[in-house]
């Protein structure tokens, strides 16, 4: 599973609210491989590891973010260490595909 996702950080480790200034939406090229979600800041800098973030989706939960109504097809990812991210997919189909793949892990 690969594709562009916009991400907003909502809560950091242990569910602490992500502080002001770190809550904005950012675009990433996302790849799910095994139990790891790789987030590259842009598709053209694949070789530059410093531009990549890694999120473990082991014991994570993905679900449609029904409470978040500012943008369409947004899902919520809660990690095992209680971080929470919102991800905006490019379509409802892609959102459902990401949710399904993450929850399969
Ligand atoms: C955040 C940014 C986000 C906004 C968030 C702000 O500011 O404007 O777009 O979320 O609101 O805190 P910053 O860039 O300084 O982190 P929305 O797009 O969902 O409104 P929030 O604090 O209510 O999450």
ipTM entry: 0.94
Ligand 1 centroid – CA 86 distance (Å): 12
Expressed in angstroms and rounded, the spacing between residue 50 Cα and the centre of ligand 1 is 25
Tens-place pLDDT, residues 68-98:
999 999 999 999 999 999 999 999 999 999 9
Per-residue confidence band for 13, with pLDDT thresholds at 50, 70 and 90: very high
30-51: b or e for each residue (b if 16 or more CB lie within 10 Å)?
Answer: bebeeeebbbbeeeeeeeeeee
Q: Which of 16, 19, 24, 69 is the best mutation target for the ligand 1 pocket, counting ligand atoms within 8 Å of the beta carbon and taking the most?
A: 24
Q: Are 29 and 97 in contact (CB under 8 A)?
A: no
pLDDT tens digits, one per residue of 21-37: 999 999 999 999 999 99
Which pLDDT score, from 0 to 100, does residue 52 have? 85
58 lines ligand 1 (CB under 6 A): no
**Which residue has the least CA distance to atom 15 on ligand 1?**
21
This prediction's pTM: 0.92
Q: What separation in Å is there between the alpha carbon of 52 and the centre of ligand 1?
A: 22
pLDDT of residue 98: 98
Mean pLDDT of the chain: 93
67 contacts: CB under 8 Å, gap ≥ 6: none
User: Which pLDDT score is estimated for 49?
Assistant: 56
């Amino acid at each position: 599973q690969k594709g562009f996702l916009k991400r907003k950080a909502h809560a950091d480790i242990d569910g602490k609210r992500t502080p002001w200034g770190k809550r904005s939406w950012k675009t990433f090229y996302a790849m799910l491989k095994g139990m790891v979600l790789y987030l590259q800041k842009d598709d053209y800098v694949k070789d530059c590891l410093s531009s990549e973030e890694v999120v473990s989706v082991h014991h994570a939960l993905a679900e449609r973010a029904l409470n978040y109504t500012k943008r369409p097809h947004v899902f919520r990812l809660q990690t095992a260490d209680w971080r929470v991210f919102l991800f905006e997919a490019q379509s409802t189909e892609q959102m459902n595909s990401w949710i399904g793949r993450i929850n399969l892990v």
